[in-house]
């Protein structure tokens, strides 16, 4: 089976698209390669992150066991599930497929593919590099641009950072982020926390909370000490959540405060 041509399904509330991917993608669990394919498709669906779907022929179904679990999608149909058993480990209902999808999805060949829950397997790889969190969307762009414009961060009524050496990070669909040199940040007001997050485009972030005037701003600042090779400019720079500080000023003008899932 070869990759289908890009497929498209649309109704007034939901768009679903299957795009062929040129990347070799592999999944590892319990010291076994559970899936290995150069025939991937990426599913784009309104309101969701992209999802990798594997041709069923490229998945180790000898290590999968069907379960009684099922789910229903009003756009795709009924999904069946499999549990993985490999290397003495078990991952319940980690794999799903639409074996008899709705006609619109059959036209996109969805019945020939299956998908894995990202966090129910041990490792994901694109070619020979491990990837994290979710597939990297080839339609997403990140630009990190040096700027001499003055950036000020105000929290708890105080200016906690001011820099003319910031990097502006522009990421498709997200607010502009301002990455500041540590020497331009009031580090005496910050306390490192145990929080760590992963971004497939930037790497692993560490966090600080700020204590200002008796008020604590939890995990308000982050930095990437070892960003992925594609995003080297932000190494060790510090970024504040625009959503949760009093204000961020650029050349004295207050920037718009975004409202999104990170807002508190």
Contact 101, 11 (CB under 8 A): no
Both 92 and 159 in one domain: the answer is no
Q: What is the mean pLDDT of each run of 10 residues along the chain (264 residues)?
A: 52 82 96 96 91 97 98 95 97 97 91 97 96 90 96 96 98 95 97 96 96 95 94 95 95 93 88
Last residue of a domain, one of 109, 131, 153: 131
User: Does residue 175 belong to any structural domain of this protein?
Assistant: yes
CA distance 41 to 48: 15
Is residue 137 a part of any domain in this protein?
A: no
Domain boundary among 82, 103, 131: 131
Tokens of 84: 């993985």
Domain span at 125: 7-131
Q: Give percent helix, percent strand, percent coil of the chain, each to the nearest 5.
A: 10, 55, 35
Same domain, 12 and 126: yes
What is the predicted pLDDT for the residue at 3? 47
- Cβ neighbour number for residue 233 with a 10 Å cutoff: 13
Q: Verify that 20 and 118 share a domain, yes or no.
A: yes
- Same domain? For 14 and 112 the reply is yes
Is residue 1 one of the residues assigned to a domain?
no
In this prediction, residue 7 carries a pLDDT of 60
Instruction: Give φ, ψ of 185 to 5 degrees.
Output: -120, 140
CA 96, CA 82: separation in Å to the nearest integer?
A: 6
Phi/psi-derived region of residue 93, left when phi > 0, alpha when psi is between -120 and 50, beta in every other case: left
**Which residues does 145 contact at the CB level (< 8 Å), separation at least 6?**
167, 168, 169, 170
Q: Domain containing 88 — which CATH number?
A: 2.170.150.40
Q: What pLDDT was estimated at residue 15?
A: 87
Query: In the chain, how many domains are there?
Result: 2
For residues 126 and 212, state if they share a domain. Answer: no
* 156/55 same-domain check: no
CB count, 10 Å around CB of 232? 11
| Domain identity same for 246 and 155 | yes
Find, among 82, 80, 87, 83, the residue nearest to 33 by Cα: 87
Provide the Cα torsion 197, 247, 231, 207; round to 10°: -30
Same-domain check for residues 31 and 125: yes
Sheet with 177-180, side-by-side order of all strands: 142-146, 167-171, 177-180, 238-240, 215-223, 203-212, 190-199
pLDDT at 255: 95
**Domain-embedded: residue 148:** yes
Residues 30 and 121 in one domain: yes
* 122 lies in the same domain as 13: yes
In a domain, 264, yes or no: no
Which tens digit of pLDDT belongs to each residue from 84-101? 999 999 999 999 999 999
DSSP 185: B
């Amino acid at each position: 089976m070869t990759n289908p041509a890009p497929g498209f399904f649309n109704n007034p509330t939901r768009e679903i698209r299957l795009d062929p991917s040129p990347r070799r993608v592999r999944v590892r669990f319990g010291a076994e390669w559970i899936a290995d394919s150069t025939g991937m498709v990426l599913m784009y669906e309104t309101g969701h992150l992209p999802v990798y779907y594997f041709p069923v022929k490229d998945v180790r179904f000898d290590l999968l066991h069907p379960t009684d679990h099922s789910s229903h999608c009003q756009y795709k149909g009924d999904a069946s599930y499999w549990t993985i058993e490999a290397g003495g480990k078990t991952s319940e209902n980690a794999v799903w497929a639409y074996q008899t999808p709705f006609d619109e999805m059959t036209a996109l060949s969805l019945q020939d593919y299956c998908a894995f829950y990202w966090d129910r397997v041990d490792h994901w790889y694109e070619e020979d590099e491990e990837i994290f969190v979710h597939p990297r969307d080839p339609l997403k762009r990140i630009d990190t641009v040096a700027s001499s414009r003055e950036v000020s961060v105000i929290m708890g009524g105080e200016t906690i950072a001011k820099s003319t050496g910031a990097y502006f990070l522009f990421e498709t669909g997200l607010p502009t982020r301002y990455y500041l040199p540590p020497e331009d940040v009031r580090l005496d007001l910050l306390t490192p926390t145990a929080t760590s997050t992963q971004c497939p485009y930037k790497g692993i972030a560490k966090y600080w909370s700020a204590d200002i005037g008796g008020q604590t701003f939890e995990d308000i600042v982050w930095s990437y000490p070892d960003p992925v090779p594609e995003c080297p400019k932000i190494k060790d720079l510090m970024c504040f959540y625009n959503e949760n500080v009093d204000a961020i000023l650029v050349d004295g003008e207050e920037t718009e405060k975004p409202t999104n899932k990170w807002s508190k």
